[in-house]
Structure 1
Amino acid sequence: MEWAMSLLLNHPEALKKVHDEIETHVGHQRLVIDSDLPQLRYLNNVIRETLRLFPPGPLLVPRESTMECSIGGFHVPRGTMLIVNAYKMHRDPALWTDPAEFKPERFESGEGEGYKYVPFGVGRRRCPGEAMAMKAVGLVLASLVQCFEWKRLGEEEVDLNEGEGLSMPKAIPLEVLCKPRQAMMDVLPQL
């Protein structure tokens, strides 16, 4: 959530696009609900792009090779521990166009399809909480954008440096200014 808000604050055109999409599909007479999320395609693209740039676990769960094999031309003996570096994969220019850039639109063209986008892992060992996580992040982020106006503290962009830790926290916690949107004042008590 913190990474998504940081990216949106550094890309006000994307923040406006998310808000406009919510206004179009939901309006301001009620709060976003889970059945609205499939229609909020750009919001979902923002979440996917945030997870591409800042995966919740940059290194996926290690796996042990059960048999001798070859992967990408590398010999892998039986019993070898293998770790997928999702962070590196998601920023690899051989896999992504402009990998360091925040471009939610890349998911509209299908650029994130296949095994190059793996914030939750892949296959039968994929994170079982993915659907719940995507729904929770979608509802909270949509509600924050729908109900409040967001601004950076100053003119400079929000710092996007990563801190230390397995879950990739921000080095400098996000501090922002927010105020309730006037159009949402009747609905805000429902939060």
Structure 2
Amino acid sequence: MSTSSPNLTAHCTCGTVAFETRRAPIIATACYCHSCQTAGRQIEQLPGAPPVLDADGGTQFILYRKDRVTCIRGAEHLVDRRLTPESPTRRVLATCCNSVMFLEFSKGHWLSLYRARFAPGAPPLEMRVMTRDRPEGVTLPGDVPNYPGYSGKFMGKLFLAWIAMLLRR
């Protein structure tokens, strides 16, 4: 993991909300879990919402340590959405244009920013996870590793990022 990566900015579709990231991400991945697919379909039904799911049913994320992400504009337009009131995962949307900005696991030390919110040139996809839940009939390319669950590499990168944060959340 390089520490000299440039800062990147993630914007909502209309540009009202923006987040700045510092340094290198933890990982860039696409998730195919049932929760991401369900939430993606729900969010895409909101008025004017941009696409969330890729054509193959995956959702691409770039994961960053929480201490390396800052809302630099439009925080007053952010709202939480959960699949159920008890869900430990929240998706945060910009109400100005119904763009989903990030996903947060409440007990996690990272934020999963939606890759679509970044300009071209954002870090490339490194792996696909939870592919066992992909839609029926979808064949995934072999351009990056495809894991049926969360791979050891994925979990290892999250753990190393947590250690670097001195086990803080």
**Same fold by TM (over 0.5)?**
no
Judging by fraction of residues, say which structure has more helix: 1
Please tell me the TM-score bracket, short chain as reference: under 0.3
Structure ranking higher in strand proportion: 2
TM-score, normalisation: structure 1 = 0.22
